[in-house]
Amino acid sequence: MSSLLTPDFGLLFWMLLSFGAVFFALSRWAFPVIKRTVAKRSDYIESSLASADEARRKAQDAESLSKTITDEARVQQAEILKKAMSDGENIVHSAHERAAAERDKLIAALHDDLEHQREKAMVELSGEMTDMVLDLTERVLRERLEDPQRQHELVLRMLEEAEHTRVFSGLPDTHSVSPSLPDNKI
């Protein structure tokens, strides 16, 4: 047992030699290769983790951006809808207004046209009446020259015809426009 606790030159020599050889071999050919590989893998893992973090950050940014854009789009959509509804209402309102104005304009134009037609008809009727009066006058004058009774009858008949024409043509009462023909003056 004492030999175990007493240093032995031979063992010291072989231990120095073998440990030195192991140290040399391992530190020259084994540890550097293993460490280099582990370091490479470690760097790769770290860079992969960094890339993953970067990708995650980008995804978060993109998500955030997407959310912002979506929110903005929603706001814009709401605004557009609101504006569209307002525009639509305005368009409908203006269309109604335009239609009403057009209608009023058309009605006024029709009224003007009718008034014009009526005036024209009145003028024409006045012309015709004038012609008839002239014709009658001519006839009366011609009959007067022949028979007063007949002249009177003729005047009456002409007046009746004129009245009949007025009624059928829808003209106003001739008494209001035509000069009354006093019997004594005819």
Partner 1 sequence: MKRTLFILMLTILGAVANVRAETEEVAVAIERFDTAEMIVEHVGDSYWWHITRVGGRDLTIFLPVIARERDSGWHIFSSRHIAHGAEYRGFRIADEGRHRGKLIATADGGEYRPWDVSITKTTFALLFNSAVIVALFLWVARRYRRRSWKSVPRGFVGAIEMLMVSIEDDIIKKSIGHGYERFSPYLLTAFFFILINNLMGLIPFFPGGANVMGNISITIVLAFCSLVAMNLFSNREYWREIFWPDAPIWLKLPVPLLPAIEFFGVLSKPVALMIRLTANVMGGHIVLISVTSIIFVAATMGAAASAGLTVFSVIFSIFMTAIELLVASLQAYVFTLLSAVFIGLSRPKSHKTAVD
Query: Whole-number minimum distance, CB 47 to partner 1, in Å?
Result: 12
Is 50 a binding residue for partner 1 by CB under 8 A? The answer is: no
Give dist(CA 139, CA 136) in Å, integer: 5
Using the minimum distance from each CB to partner 1, give the nearer residue, 5 or 145.
5
Nearest to 137 by CA among 175, 186, 96: 186
Query: Whole-number minimum distance, CB 2 to partner 1, in Å?
Result: 8
Query: Whole-number minimum distance, CB 52 to partner 1, in Å?
Result: 16
Query: Whole-number minimum distance, CB 54 to partner 1, in Å?
Result: 20
Please list every residue from 24 through 43 that binds partner 1, using CB under 8 A: 25-27, 29-31, 33-35, 37-38, 40-41
Residue 166's contacts (CB-CB under 8 Å, 6 or more residues apart) are 125, 172, 173, 174
Using the minimum distance from each CB to partner 1, give the nearer residue, 19 or 94.
19
Is 117 a binding residue for partner 1 by CB under 8 A? The answer is: no
Is 46 a binding residue for partner 1 by CB under 8 A? The answer is: no
Give dist(CA 7, CA 13) in Å, integer: 11
Helices (H) and strands (E) in the chain, counts: 5, 0
**Residue ranges in contact with partner 1 by CB under 8 A:** 1-16, 18-19, 21-23, 25-27, 29-31, 33-35, 37-38, 40-41, 44
